[in-house]
Amino acid sequence: MSFYVNDDYLYCDGLKIKDIQEQVPHSPFYLYSLDQITANYTAYETALEGLESIIGYAIKANNNLAILRHLRKLGSGAVLVSGNELRIAMAAGFDPEQMLLNGNGKTHPELILAARHGVMINVDSEFDFEHIQQAARVAEKTVNVLIRINPDVDPQVHHYVSTGIKNSKFGIRNERLHWFLDRINDDSRLNLVGVHCHLGSTIKKTSIFRDATELMMEFIDEIRSQGFEVKYLNIGGGLGIDYERTGEAIPSPADLIDSIRDLLTSDVGLIIEPGRSIIGNTAAFVNRVVGVKTNGNKNFIVTDGSMAELIRPSLYDTYQHIDFIEPVDAEIEAYDVVGPVCESADFLGKDRSLSTPHEGAGLVVYDAGAYCYAMSSNYNLKMRPPEYLVDGENLVEIRRAENLEDYMRLFETTQ
Ligand code: LLP
């Protein structure tokens, strides 16, 4: 584990986080472990040994350029959901042929960009199909496409992150499969390379992936019977992580791949699109306590970090573990950990048993690598925090703090 307690102080690899907090000029900030990123990626790579595969890191989870460059160096591909994600993936040096553009509302410019660079594109609907055809014509390229199928398997996760059930806004209507196949057949600029499904995020059971793989292999058989070569099965996003930090046994990438390996025929390559399980547990969001208060019924620890920098608890009512980075020996109480943003939805954690901290005490929200910075905002004109990376015993700033001048620049129009 990259984050561990030693003598009541929290460390990230070789560095004491309290020392970092005292050294850096900003609070709050995000802190990443390079070793943990490498370990998480390598776990997928090892799990996939012997299979033709692409690990398409889901950039939406965390798009820090330094992190992207590191994952690219490790051999990762990239899964994109916008033209800008494509551009940042190019800037990070990813191979466009190892990239896939997903989405239910891809725009013309995004599709043309993807077609020009030879990025694979997922077909999500009838209109999306027509837009991809147009993009291929404009770009004068042949486009490798996958069809996003909706396997209708319940991933047993929060309904906001469940995407593979019948009522989801993603994917084609399966009964229309032949409509898509006929049209792909008729268009020499489109080349069907695979089928895609994504059931949802935070999945913790391999049986769910297995159920989906069984169904998807049936679709592959059906498509092949129509004379298509199907090179890839894309099983979508990766595994959930142990946000509760209770030591719950969450399947490893090896468990996941081993659970479906026997279903895959030797002529099918696997694409997997992990985001959270690559980057989630590699970071902590480091705050300072502004003060402690009570309203008689409830006690609050008020921190300088808020829903503006980390919205997952407010948005999904999800749990991310919170603890101090230094010894805090005062009385233990039940606290809501809240930020300074002017609304009651602003909390990082509720009903946590924590010692009563002194002002300025350091406090972290764990597992803040995925969908945290990436979903941050300027609400209340809070500026986005800096990001630091621990590389062994070295601290590297991998994104500077945003400042008000950056923000004010947006009002300098040309008219
Ligand atoms: N592929 C597709 C098509 C996806 O929609 C997603 C995530 C992924 C891959 C990556 O899934 P992962 O390996 O990270 O589970 N903001 C939410 C998560 C939304 C995920 C959406 N799709 C959160 O903070 O929990």
pLDDT in tens, 73-120: 999 999 999 999 999 999 999 999 999 999 999 999 999 999 999 999
Ligand 1 site, residue 371, Cβ cutoff 6 A: yes
Distance of CA 100 to CAs 82, 201, 239, Å? 10, 18, 19
pLDDT (tens digit per residue) in 22-31: 999 999 999 9
Residues 6+ apart with CB under 8 A from 174: 149, 150, 152, 219
Residue 169 has pLDDT above 90, yes or no: no
Which pLDDT score is estimated for 414? 73
Atom of ligand 1 nearest to the CA of 236: 1
Which pLDDT score is estimated for 120? 98
Span from the CA of 295 to the centroid of ligand 1 (angstroms) = 38
Ligand 1 site, residue 399, Cβ cutoff 6 A: no
Which pLDDT score is estimated for 162? 66
Ligand 1 site, residue 372, Cβ cutoff 6 A: no
Ligand 1 site, residue 237, Cβ cutoff 6 A: yes
Residue 66 has pLDDT above 80, yes or no: yes
Span from the CA of 8 to the centroid of ligand 1 (angstroms) = 34
pTM of the model: 0.96
Residue 152 has pLDDT above 80, yes or no: no
Which pLDDT score is estimated for 402? 98
Q: What percent of the chain lies above the pLDDT cut of 70? A: 97
